[in-house]
Amino acid sequence: MRWLSSLGNLIRNENMKIYRRPRTWLMVGFLVLALGLMSGLMKWDESRSSGGDWKASLTQQNSHYQTQLAESKDMDSDYKEYLTKEIKINEYYLANDMNPHALSLWDYVNSSAALVMLITILTVIVAADMIAAEFTWGTIKLLLVGPASRSKIMLSKYISTMTFALLLLLLSFVLAFAAGAVLQGFDGLSLPHLNVGADGVVHESSMVVNSLQKYGYAVISLLMYVTLAFMISAAFRSSSMAIAFSLLFMLVGNTVTMLLSGYEWSKYLLFANIDLTQYLPGNSPLRPEMTLGFSITMLIAYYVVFQLIAWTLFTKRDVAG
């Protein structure tokens, strides 16, 4: 109990460092502004493109898909399955007089999931600064002379950083939901999410579950990027260097991995596995032999390695001078 109480005090202290900095509230304000702009653009685009015959559009789309299926003999099996499911879903829309192009509040929530990349960047900046900043400000000695062990101090910093990330995620979800409710009303609250089951039949499922799933995939990449940034923070004494390298790896990693995708060993790279949406229907993994289980295993391995390196660097580092 005393251990948890001590950890709680450390977490509270780290949270004070995060939320008392003007930079933190500027980042929160930037996220709110981005959500506002996204919502406004979606509403403007709806008013600009309204009035079209959605039934004729879906019928034409299905005709195009059927032509592709008929003419493409060597079509990828995953893409063929994707087209087949899209045709069935469009037919379901037509049969039940459901306009898929009509915006609902869930469209705002689902679109906000794309902003998780922005949340990741903001959290990476905080994570990369958590340990390195103590050396930059010269407060590391004051922190280590206390009764708390280095492991506990590092754990409190990591928990505080992830709590900040979860707060931004919750804020994004709530604001997107509120924007959708204000701009579209609550009429679409009960709308179902359509998916084609293994039996080849269209089923209605919960839109809440679908939205949380979109956020869930994004959270995986958020967790890995933040842990990577935390490890880099433990490696550098300069706060600016830690932030710069963390953002560099995050922004360039996917591009470099794509360039190396022709090599079989590229499947073992972090950035080849970090986006689990590549295993959703209609998408393809970086390498054809990759599976969801393989990527999850690789992510767990990278997570453990990042944590071990961060712990070793922070607990064994000499802070003299």
Nearest to 222 by CA among 162, 155, 270: 162
Q: What angle do CA 230, 233, 238 make, to 5 degrees?
A: 160
Residues in contact with 25: Cβ distance below 8 Å, sequence separation at least 6, in sequence order: 19
Residue with tokens 């559009």: 57
pLDDT for position 94:
85
Sign of the dihedral through C-alpha 225, 230, 236, 242:
positive
pLDDT digits (tens, 9 = 90+) for 139-157: 766 666 666 677 888 888 8
158 vs 14, 129, 172, 191, CA distance in Å? 9, 11, 21, 38
Residue 195, SS3 per DSSP: strand
Report residue 31 as tokens. Answer: 């996220």
Which of 1-5, 127-131, 181-185, 239-243 bottoms out in mean pLDDT, i.e. has the lowest? 1-5
Cβ atoms of 319 and 144 closer than 8 Å: yes
* Mean pLDDT across 246-270: 85
Model confidence at 133: pLDDT above 80: no
Chain centroid to CA 234:
23
Q: Give me the percent of the chain exceeding a pLDDT of 70.
A: 89
pLDDT for position 127:
81
Q: How far apart are the first and last CA of the chain?
A: 35
Residue 194, SS3 per DSSP: strand
pLDDT for position 47:
65
Which of 29-38, 206-215, 262-271 bottoms out in mean pLDDT, i.e. has the lowest? 206-215
Residues in contact with 296: Cβ distance below 8 Å, sequence separation at least 6, in sequence order: 276
Residue ranges in the chain assigned as alpha helix (H): 2-19, 22-49, 54-71, 77-95, 105-112, 116-130, 132-137, 140-144, 150-184, 207-235, 239-259, 270-273, 292-316
pLDDT digits (tens, 9 = 90+) for 42-84: 888 776 665 567 788 888 888 888 888 777 777 777 677 778 8
Report residue 259 as tokens. Answer: 């360039």
201: left (phi over 0), alpha (psi -120 to 50) or beta: beta
Q: How far apart are CA 249 and CA 270, in angstroms?
A: 11
pLDDT digits (tens, 9 = 90+) for 215-230: 888 888 888 888 888 8
Cβ atoms of 245 and 232 closer than 8 Å: yes
DSSP character for 191? P
Q: Give me the percent of the chain exceeding a pLDDT of 90.
A: 10
pLDDT digits (tens, 9 = 90+) for 24-41: 899 999 999 999 998 888
Model confidence at 317: pLDDT above 90: no
Which of 9-23, 113-127, 130-144, 220-234 bottoms out in mean pLDDT, i.e. has the lowest? 130-144
Between residues 314 and 298, the one the model is more confident about: 298
pLDDT for position 50:
58
Report residue 44 as tokens. Answer: 């403007």
* Mean pLDDT across 234-239: 76
